[in-house]
Amino acid sequence: MRRVPAPTAAKILGAAIALGLGVASQAAAQAQPATVIHAGALLDRPGQAPRGASTLIVRDGRIEAVRDGFVEPEAGAKVVDLRDQFVLPGLIDSHVHIFSDDDKVRSRMEFPNRDIEDNMVIGIDNARRTLEAGFTTIRDLGSDIRSVTALRDGVNSGLITGPTIVAAGRAIAVTAGHGDGSNNLNRDLAEIAHQHGENVCNGAEDCRRAVRSQISQGADVIKFTATGGVLSNVAGGLGAQMFDDEMKAVVETAHMFGRKVAAHAHGTDGVVGALNAGVDSIEHGTFGTAQTDALFKKTGAYFVPTMLAPKTALDQARAGARSRNSLEKAEIAAKAAMENHRRAIANGVKIAFGTDTGVSAHGDNGKEFALMVSVGMSPAEAIKAATVNAADLLGRSASIGTLEAGKDADIIAVAQSPLADVTELERPTFVMHRGVVAKVGGQRAPFPPN
């Protein structure tokens, strides 16, 4: 019989340590106190019928179980009493600009005096207000890449209170296009903008470089500006500004690195070009047509209408808070947007919720729901767009969008059913992000302390 070598003392010690650590970590996980949420009604899977009285068991930032009725809590568990509330998944806004100042006049006046640190303070406050508005995940589609990734990582590490951030960094744009930060600046400021304009590209090869630059600095997703934009201080309308090969280069490069692509697109030609290039979502889509609706369905791309933005931008421009170039484009976009969105919804285009917040005020994200319903969506469809659909667009359905065992404990509540009155979502009474309470009883947490 072949003799099996005896294990060495080092191997025995190593195995014992590994076993001990495994048992210790398992015991630690079991020792984590649970938070038990008693919900009067629970929309755990938007798009399906809500449940009645239910219990959510949360542990270590995730949902451990969802049970019928009001389950008796285990010893040491924290209990959140929402038995008179309607509970649903945390909301997802697929299009925000978290560093944008709500006060547009002040922002323009103070622009030459502000440093990146000043903008970070604004972003931290905006992040908290966004979370308290019930939005537990956002996709930021245009910010300084170093700032937004720092904010993202601060939230992820628990140092900053705010929603989960999926960050694009700076939008890829062509020279003089929407997203070129040097447009119509004086020569000194334009020179500075050019020095930091690694997002600006011309030609397919240069656009590949611009995409790689944002990814190398931490971008989770890539955005490019296929057409002109309302708020860029440059004339030229809202039609296409990138050539087909440039758009294709952006999309292929981003997808090569495993990043999804969002295209800012107003004009029909830009929407068509971006969809043919293979984008994952179209933002705004102001001048869509029945033909672009068919192309959406053919490619499987999502449409993020951002209905709140055109009216807000027009009001601001008319009040003098935007440039004359912006006013002219805002008049055109606001007039066309809602009816085009109505048609796309009626034609069955996939919709993901997004607001372009930063144009409108942070914390007002929920006002988008009433606009979506006004152009033909049911409240249930609008809620699904801000949960299940948006999670799918972000590629995060495994962790957010529904309330199921194993998913992030991103949970909100409102006083009455939003399926009957969607404006209830403008007034969340309770917000939990990854198991941490941010709002309870309509008040900023800790109240009571976590």
pLDDT digits (tens, 9 = 90+) for 381-395: 999 999 999 999 999
User: How far is the C-alpha of 373 from the C-alpha of 342, rounded, in Å?
Assistant: 10
Query: Token match 């955005």: residue?
Result: 223
Say what the alpha-carbon torsion angle 210, 215, 219, 222 is, to the nearest 10 degrees.
Answer: 50
pLDDT at 4: 39
pLDDT at 33: 92
Residue 52 CB-density burial (10 A; 0-12 exposed, 13-18 middle, 19+ buried): exposed
pLDDT at 253: 98
Report the candidate in 235, 230, 233 with the shortest Cα–Cα distance to residue 306: 230
CB 55 within 8 A of CB 66: yes
User: Residue 370: enclosing H or E segment and its boundaries?
Assistant: helix 368-374
Going along the chain from its start, the domains and CATH numbers come out as 33-90+403-444 (2.30.40.10), 91-362 (3.20.20.140)
State the pTM of this model. Answer: 0.88
pLDDT at 319: 76
Report the candidate in 260, 177, 276 with the shortest Cα–Cα distance to residue 221: 260
DSSP string covering 319-364? TTSS-HHHHHHHHHHHHHHHHHHHHHHHTT--B-----BTSS-TT-
User: How far is the C-alpha of 369 from the C-alpha of 386, rounded, in Å?
Assistant: 9
pLDDT at 31: 63
In the chain, which residues have pLDDT < 70?
1-31, 104-105, 108-109, 179-197, 230-237, 321, 323, 325-326, 329, 446-450
